[in-house]
Structure 1
């Protein structure tokens, strides 16, 4: 009796494992290769791709945000609820979209509109099916390219000429470079202030003195290394 019971239990476990392997093999989430970069004020797509031969209609997808000190259930899609399948947290009200017409292709990515600085963090895409569950984490880095730079002449400073370059609206803290006519970094002393505003972005004011006999073509370049983009202004100081 005992051996028959053990045999039945062993057979049950084997069948259960085979079913689990079959279900597991049917579905797979493809993880993103790199962090996603979202530009403040614009939209961004948080990728989540389900690899499957067929995608069940009763799909349940949940996106969860984890920041420095909070966790938010951003939005969910419940395929069992035909009348109102989507629910959205108040903090993201009107800012998220699923690509529902592409669910049959396994695309459960999230379109996040009007990116804010507070959106930076980790987003977990969780997919629930009847006998299967998995999740993937998408890192969202937030960035902003500031306004065009402007160079102002401050007048004479000693025997030289003072120059100031300004720009607003950068994130993260940008790099500042003063260049000569050959595109080389200038040797003059530079004073730069990066001021963090109440919204968390940075305004930049940078100054230098152009000494007599120096290359009179001056460029101010402000660089966002995360976006790999820059703003630059150039002036040519003529005369003595």
Structure 2
């Protein structure tokens, strides 16, 4: 073989070595493509793989959350560098390297918290060349701690509050009737505690004439797991309204009977005063008109909604209307009794004085 042949052979070998070196630098990183569900408090494993498979022991392998601002775990020069990870991941991560010779590593996170939710970047770096893969993690937890708080019923209805805590992510909330149909909630609200878990509240206002069984439901949108609690509302819940109306009616009837009886005693139907006009008839009519006026005012106040049901002051506003109604009724009764007492007291004094004058004459 001549010099030219040897030179050509060396050029071919050098070209092939460059191609091999170049191909060894070019790779991609593969891993899970769909979201990974991670139960709260459990352990999470995230794997990524070089393609084509090759030894990654000499490479830098970095796991991070948001670019390089939230490092999770770092492997460099054949060692795990825990000192470069942020505090919330210290002693909570481990890089499993059983298959690192084939380009596969697995990040293990212990005691998953709600703050671990989100994307994770896996990056392999060989010299100046690097590639990454992103895995989406969805932390999930479902709570069975559900309570229904029933406010004291008022003239308009009853307010129900459904509370639950310890959810992640934010659950779907709805009220349902006995047929399973959704009842529009009056209001919904939520907050997060120091562990980023959601505490939720759902309010429902049921009008007094519309009684039924209602169920408070919360559903985890990731696992589709549902938790619920039911409450039975019966007519007996609002029986106090009928009792209150009955008591007021009895008071009105007793007062009217008392006034009419006093009138008949003072002005008998058959006698020399039979043609006289009973002044207590006017009082009785005035009392009845007053009672009807109070009823009309109360009806207007009940029907007129000054504060929307979703407003936190709605219950206070309704109780104010009830208190005003009770005060008006008590005032009417007190005034009628006072007038009756004063009238009979003055009339008795007048009759005694008149009899004394007749006796002295």
How big is each residue's C-alpha offset from its partner over 1:126-182, in whole Å with a ceiling of 9 and x where there is no partner?
Answer: 224579743212233444434522122223132533221100122333321000112
Alpha-carbon distance, 1:45 to partner: 2.1
How big is each residue's C-alpha offset from its partner over 1:65-84, in whole Å with a ceiling of 9 and x where there is no partner?
Answer: 217xx713321234x54xxx
* Aligned pair partner of 1:231 in 215, 227, 243: 227
C-alpha spacing 1:160/1:73, structure 2 compared with 1 (3 Å): closer
Match of 1:137 in 2: 134
Q: How many residues align?
A: 225
What SS class does the counterpart of residue 18 from structure 1 fall into?
A: helix
* Aligned pair partner of 2:191 in 192, 195, 213: 195
| 8 A contact 1:194–1:204 mirrored in 2 | yes
Are 1:86 and 2:80 matched, yes or no? yes
What SS class does the counterpart of residue 19 from structure 2 fall into?
A: helix
Match of 2:74 in 1: 76
TM-score, with length taken from structure 1: 0.74
Alpha-carbon distance, 1:185 to partner: 0.1
Higher Rg: 2
Q: Distance in 1 between matches of 2:95 and 2:159?
A: 53
Match of 2:214 in 1: 218
Q: Distance in 2 between matches of 1:16 and 1:103?
A: 25
Match of 2:29 in 1: 29
| 8 A contact 1:41–1:116 mirrored in 2 | yes
Are 1:176 and 2:142 matched, yes or no? no
| 8 A contact 1:123–1:139 mirrored in 2 | yes
| 8 A contact 2:28–2:132 mirrored in 1 | no
Higher relative contact order (CA 8 A, sep 6+): 1
C-alpha spacing 1:128/1:214, structure 2 compared with 1 (3 Å): same
Alpha-carbon distance, 1:217 to partner: 1.7
| 8 A contact 2:36–2:138 mirrored in 1 | yes
Alpha-carbon distance, 1:193 to partner: 2.0
TM-score, with length taken from structure 2: 0.52
What SS class does the counterpart of residue 47 from structure 1 fall into?
A: strand
Gaps of 5+ in 1: 1-6
Aligned counterparts, 1:5-44, within 5 A: 15=16, 18-20=19-21, 22-23=23-24, 28-44=28-44
Match of 2:157 in 1: 160
| 8 A contact 1:50–1:108 mirrored in 2 | no
Whose helix proportion is higher, 1 or 2?
A: 2
Deviates more, 1:218-227 or 1:52-61: 52-61
Gaps of 5+ in 2: 1-7, 237-361
What SS class does the counterpart of residue 158 from structure 1 fall into?
A: coil
Alpha-carbon distance, 1:214 to partner: 3.6
| 8 A contact 1:48–1:108 mirrored in 2 | yes
